Structure 1
C-alpha cells in the first residue's frame, strides 16, 4: 500500500484478531465490520479510506470464503451469513481500489455477486424445505437481506447487472414455484430494470411466463408491475407483446372490446379446469394401474370354484374309492385286546429304557475308573526315582477296595431284606444289572486318583 494516511486503528486491530483467532471465532469478529462501516462519525473521505483498509487487509476476502462454507456450522448460523453478505455489499459500493483496480472489477466483484447468489439459492432451498413456521420466517428474512445486498451491490456497480442475469444461480432463483421467494426475486429484477434499460428484453420471456402460468395474485401483481416498467422504458414493447405473445395486431388490443376479453377469460378458465380434470384422471388411472399390478403380483390366489358337473364327478370318484377300499370293522373285544397289548409293549419299552440307562451309567463309571488308572500310570515317576510311598500306591488299594466292598455288601443285604412287593419287577432285570441303591453306593465309592507332583 502506498504511503499515505495511517490505516484505521479499528480495522488494523480487527485484522490482527482475525489472523490470530480460531476458525470458530472469525465469523463473530468479522461482524464487527458492520459497526465500523455504519459509524456516524465517518465522513465521505474517511469512509472511503476505511473501505480501502478493509479491502487491503483481506477482511472482505475472508467474508467471501465464509459464504462458500456450510453456513449452518458457523457461529450464529444463517443469520451470520446474511449479515456478512450485507457487509460485503456495503463495503464494495463506493470503494476505490488504487492498486490493481482491474482485478477488483473483473474478478473480485463477479466472484462476490456469485457468492451472494449462491447463498441466496441455499437460503431459498432451506426455506422451501422448512416445516416449522418460525424457521420459514427466519429463512425468508435472511433471504430478503441477501437479495437487498445483491441489489445494493449492482446498484453501485452497474456492470454487475449483466453478471446477475447470466448467472446460473439467479436463473434457479427465478424459476422457482414458491410464491414468497419468487416475489422477492422479481423485486431484484425490478431493481435491475431500474438500473439498466438495455437488458429489458432478456427477462421479458420469464415475466410473461410468470404472468400467464401462475394463478397467485401476488406473483401476477409483481409481474404486471415489471411489464409496465418495461413499457415505460421502451414503447416498442407494446408491439412486441402484441405480435410475439398475443399473436394479434396492436389495434386489436384496443378495438376488440370487453366482450372478447371476457370470452378469452372464460376460455382460459375452461382450459385450466379441463387440464385440472385431466390431471386428476391421470392420477386416478395411475393409482388403479398400480393397484392392479399389486393384485397380480400378490402371492395369494383365490381358489377357483367348481361347477355343478365338476362337483358331481368329484363326488362320484369319492364314492367309488370308498366302495373299493372299505374301512375294516373291529369288535369291542378285539379293540380292548389290542389296547392291552399296546399298554404291555409300552411298559416293557419304558422298563428296558430305564435298564439301558443304568447300564450306560455303569459303563461310564468303569470308563472313568479306567481313565483314572491310566492317568495314575502316566504320572508315575521313573524307576530310578521311585520311593516306597510311590510303590504302595501301585501295589495296594486297601482303603478304596475295602470301602467299596463294605458299601456293596451293605447294599446287597439291604436289597435282600426288601419286602416281596418291592421285588415284583426283578423278573425283567438282567443278571449283570445292579439296583439303583447299589449303583449309587458304587458311584459314591469310586477311586479318584490325582496327579502326583514329580
Structure 2
C-alpha cells in the first residue's frame, strides 16, 4: 500500500475515534458499547500493529496510539480488551524502543488525565497493567522507557495505594532489579521512592516461598527460549527466501534456454526447407538439360497444366466451401425469420387476449321493458317539467361560461406546468443520485486511487456527461432494435 494510503487510513481512524468520544448513542446505547466500540478498538490495534512493522510508519503509529488513549480515557470498559488483545501483545513484543516508549506514555497520559480511571478497572486489569510496566523494566535497557515505566507504577500506587501495593508484592526481586539496573540513570529519586514503597510492606510479610522463585526462573527460561526460537525462525525464513529466489532464477534460466532451443530449431527447419527447395530446382534444371530440344517445350507445358489443375482444384474447393457456408447462413436466416414471425404472431394474440380481458363487460342501459308506453311517456315528461320548475338552472350567460372556462383552463395549464417542472426536477435529482451511487460503487480501492480519481468526486460535470453519454447510447441501441424486441418493455430512457 502506498504511503499516502496509510496516512489516509490513520487520519480516518483518528477521526472515527474523535467522533466516538462524548457521543450520546441514545436508544442504541447497548449496541454502541457492546458492538461498535469493541470493533473500533480492535481495528485501531490491528492498524497500529501493521504500522509498527513499517519503517516510515512511526508518526502514523503515534497518531493511532493517541486515538487508542483517547478512547480509553472516555470509555474505561475497553481497557481489559486492550490489555488482552492479540494485536497489543504483538506491539508489546516489538524490539523497537520508540514503540515501547509510546505504549508506556499512553498509559501514563491516560492515568494522569482521569483520576477515576484506575478505580473503574478490575483487579485483573490493574495486574495486567502492572505486568506491562514491570516487563518493560525487565526487558528494555533504554532510560526513557525505564523512567516512563517507573513513573507509571508510582502514579498507580499514588492513586490506588490499597490495590496496587499488595499487587507489587507478587513481583519478587523488583526492588533488587531497580537497585541494580536502574540506579544512576537520571531518575534516582523515582527509583528510590518505588524501592521504598515496595520494601515498606515487605518487612512485615514473610519471605516468598521457593516455589515462587522457581516459577520466576521458569518464566524467565520460557521467555529466553521464546526469544531464541524467534531469532532461529527469522534465520530459517531468510534461508527459505534465499532458496526460493535461487530456484526462481534457475527456472527462469531454464525457460530462456528452452526458448532459445525452440528458436534455433525453427531456424534450422527453415534453412533445411530452403536447401531442399534449391536442390529440387537444381535437379529439375539438370533433367531439362538431359532432354532433347524438341521435348523441352512439351514438358514445360505439361508442368504448367499440372500446376493449373492444382490451382483450379484448390479454387473450386474454396468456392464450394464458401457456397456451402452461404447456403447454411441463408437457411439459418430463414429459420430466424420464421421464428420471428411465429413469435410476433404469439405476442399479438397474447396482447389481444390481455386487452380483451382488461375491457369491462358492457351492461345494458335499460332494465325493464323494451319500450315506453304513451301513458308512461306522459308521466315522465310531467316529472321532468316539475323538477325543472322546482330547480331552476344556475348557469349564467354564454359569455360568462366561456370566461369561466378560460380561467379554469389557464389555471389547470399553470398547475400542469408546475407539476411537470417538479416532476422533471425530481427525475433530474434521481438521475444525479443514481450517477453518484454508481460512481461510489465502481470507485477504486484506496490502494490504487490517484489524484485524478479523487478530483472526479469533487466535480459533478464528468459524472453528468458520463450519464448523458450512457443514456444517449442506450437510446440509440433501443432505436436499432426490431419492433418485436420492444414489446411489453417500459421506456426507461429519460430525455
TM-score (norm. length: structure 1): 0.38
Structure with higher Rg: it is 1
TM-score (norm. length: structure 2): 0.35
